[in-house]
Amino acid sequence: MIYQKYASSWDNLDVEAYLSCYHDDYKMTFHSTGKVMTLQDLSYKIGSWMVAGKSENRGLIYENEDILVTHNIAFFCGSREAIL
């Protein structure tokens, strides 16, 4: 379903396909700062994150036609983050 598109769009640096996996009301909250990013905010940053970031241990936790839950360890600019 969505997971294959989500994972392959990241691997292929396909920003448009990646963003199409998200609902228009999507919001990302950073646990370290409390900052909230909307899908529009994400669309401006995700391309550079795809190029600069490395990911390991990516996995699917749960998926149905309404929700996708994944987990991975991401490396960006010298920091290591668990992403859920």
- What integer pLDDT is reported at residue 32 of this predicted model? 83
- What integer pLDDT is reported at residue 71 of this predicted model? 95
CB-CB contact of 70 with 4 (8 Å) = no
User: How many independent structural domains does the chain possess?
Assistant: 1
- What integer pLDDT is reported at residue 65 of this predicted model? 86
Q: How far is CA 75 from CA 5, 31, 33, 39, in A?
A: 21, 16, 18, 21
Enumerate residues 6+ apart whose C-beta is below 8 A from 41. none
Which residue from 31, 26, 56, 62 is spatially nearest to 41, judged by alpha carbons?
26
Which residues constitute the domain of residue 38?
2-83
CB-CB contact of 25 with 41 (8 Å) = no
pTM here is 0.84
**What digits encode the pLDDT tens for the residues 34-82?**
999 999 999 999 999 899 888 889 999 999 988 999 999 998 778 888 8
